[in-house]
Structure 1
């Protein structure tokens, strides 16, 4: 990837502008280009195809950030979404990941975490900030592993409803063409979801995907 195209959505103008300036100062493997800074998530629906990574707040005034995670993933399955929020609670994190978020940072996260989050999600991994809470204790995760590696028994919370549907279709032996017809989506969209499933479960082949899914009771 020669350029990392980034969008930022937050309803606080000062944070929005400061966050963009911070990102531009960080060093990444590729050049970073901020293509959208806005307080209106509706604009993402028109520009999602122009971005690789979106930073999204959950509290967006009249808009529900969680709903927009799901909408974005439905329309742009390959888009990587990193939540940046004040919410530390596990339930909020799980809700965000279930809807399709690839990373979850709080506004107390460090600059190094921010840098790592971008690099990890672009490599197809899940990233959780160090201060995301489970009850009263921070979640401790290994940032270089997939969701299935650091949380094999709760990996289902990282699968979107659409990914779960497609996983069951794959388990039934359906081809991409058959799955696309059954779910009224394009074959390309099925292919992207299939790739997302494999990266989330740490599988390198369909056979491995089915084996891991079976071990985790993700399919009937």
Structure 2
């Protein structure tokens, strides 16, 4: 008889954390062995728990999820880390995957789909929410000769989504002045003077 898949959850919202613990823990073949409010808290004892899969949020107090991935992998090299977050930023997706995350799901993913993703990752798959997979595919279709840096491209995409400068700063964990500086550089590189013109030119030239 196969043993249960051992799961640890790292999520700072008490309600969401306990909700995941209950819903996933009720799934046959799964065992939620612990649920932490932060990476820093988890790092103290998670090695002894030896989970198969870690469900990890990104925005956490102290060490955020992106920074936490390599630290968790160092302690538990065989564990699979599944990001479970509200963020759909291309930069965060690629940072998470580059740091060693095995998959990336958004929090609107139903519990049964999360459980299916856990099973998939155990078998060597790389589960992603549909919208995340679209972002990854879209990134490979972009103009490789773009004059914009990766960060500038990312910010222009967020501008195109209608996000304000303050929203962009919050989601990318950078200050507002840095966002303003990037947008100024985008305008210079694309030789435009407005948000609308920058978005139009970028889309026409497949820069975003």
Give the TM bin, normalised by the shorter chain: 0.5 to 0.7
How many residues get paired? 136
| Alpha-carbon distance, 1:60 to partner | 0.4
81-90 or 45-54: which moved more? Answer: 45-54
Match of 1:38 in 2: 36
Rounded to whole Å, the distance in 1 between the matches of 2:116 and 2:53 is: 13
| Alpha-carbon distance, 1:133 to partner | 6.7
| Alpha-carbon distance, 1:35 to partner | 1.1
Match of 1:4 in 2: 5
Are the equivalent residues in 2 in contact too, given 1:9–1:55 (CA < 8 A)?
yes
The structure having more radius of gyration, on CA atoms, is 2
Match of 2:16 in 1: 15
18-27 or 75-84: which moved more? Answer: 18-27
1:129 partnered with 2:129: yes
Aligned 1:71-110 pairs, distance under 5 A: 71-110=71-110
Runs of 4+ in 1 over 3 A off after TM superposition: none
Match of 2:159 in 1: none
1:48 partnered with 2:47: yes
**TM-score normalised by the chain length of structure 1:** 0.56
SS in 1 for 2:131: coil
Rounded to whole Å, the distance in 1 between the matches of 2:82 and 2:42 is: 14
Which structure 2 residue ranges, 5 or more long, are not aligned? 141-208
Rounded to whole Å, the distance in 1 between the matches of 2:60 and 2:14 is: 12
| Alpha-carbon distance, 1:73 to partner | 1.3
Are the equivalent residues in 2 in contact too, given 1:132–1:139 (CA < 8 A)?
yes
Rounded to whole Å, the distance in 1 between the matches of 2:104 and 2:82 is: 6
| Alpha-carbon distance, 1:101 to partner | 0.4
| Alpha-carbon distance, 1:39 to partner | 0.3
Rounded to whole Å, the distance in 2 between the matches of 1:123 and 1:96 is: 20
Which structure 1 residue ranges, 5 or more long, are not aligned? 141-150, 152-220
SS in 2 for 1:84: strand
Aligned 1:1-220 pairs, distance under 5 A: 1-27=2-28, 31-45=29-43, 46-49=45-48, 50-132=50-132
SS in 1 for 2:15: helix
SS in 1 for 2:82: strand
